[in-house]
Amino acid sequence: MALTLYLHPLASFCHKVMIALYETGTPFEAKIVDLMDPREHARYLEVWPAGKIPVLHDGARDRTVPETSIIIEYLDRLYPGGEPLIPQEEEQALEARLWDRFFDLYVQVPMQKIVTDTLRAAGENDSRGVADARAVLKTAYDMAERQLAGKTFAIGERFSIADCAAAPALFYAGIVEPFGAGHVNLSAYFERLVERPSFARVLAEARPYFDMFPYREAIPPRFL
């Protein structure tokens, strides 16, 4: 098989790329990486010295591709599905890339700040940083609420790279900082993402690992 995706089934950024692969029906080999295992981590650094997941390796071209948005663009160009995840129209492509970055930077990143703070040793917690992260999430929810008015997906009626980013970001963010009562568009959008077969498959594959998630008790029962 040409494509190998180095991942962990619980990791939200890995979910983003997995959704893209399932959307396009592109065959790939999943190689789970345990970054908590020192030996495995050391071996993985030979694949990608930055040590982050996911990373895609294309054996047919002997090319290693890091960073989720770049991976999806790479797949869109060289392993396309029926519908491109980055629209061909210039304005729509720019919009898709914008909201892809939005969900990565203003939802995924602050969510991860909140989660990883629970893993710090006693006395090393960053309460100010967590409070700031929660504030960023609330602002992002308000912005997404306005963006999603009258839309089925992040940029309109078509599923795109922005939705690949949004689905896992909102899944975990909604657990650590639930959507407010005023976020009706955002909540409805999230339900449409949950019903998407590609994301449903990702969540099913993540389910056996949910016990590792620090906020496991807050995961809605329907996902367990």
- What does the angle CA 205 – CA 183 – CA 67 come to, to the nearest 5 degrees? 45
Domains of the chain: 90-196 (1.20.1050.10)
Q: How confident is the model at residue 1 (pLDDT cuts 50, 70, 90)?
A: low
Give the distance, in angstroms, between the CA of residue 158 and the centroid of all CA atoms in the same chain: 18
Q: What is the pLDDT of residues 175-188, one digit of tens each?
A: 999 999 999 999 99
Tokens standing for residue 80: 């396309």
pTM (2 d.p.): 0.96
Lowest mean pLDDT among 1-5, 70-74, 213-217: 1-5
What's the residue count for the chain?
224
- The structure tokens 């040590």 sit at 51
Q: What is the mean pLDDT of the chain?
A: 96
Tokens standing for residue 14: 């890995």
Residue 82: is its pLDDT beyond 90?
A: no
Identify the pLDDT of residue 36. Answer: 85
Q: How confident is the model at residue 81 (pLDDT cuts 50, 70, 90)?
A: confident
Mean pLDDT calculated for residue range 119-128: 91
Q: How confident is the model at residue 193 (pLDDT cuts 50, 70, 90)?
A: very high
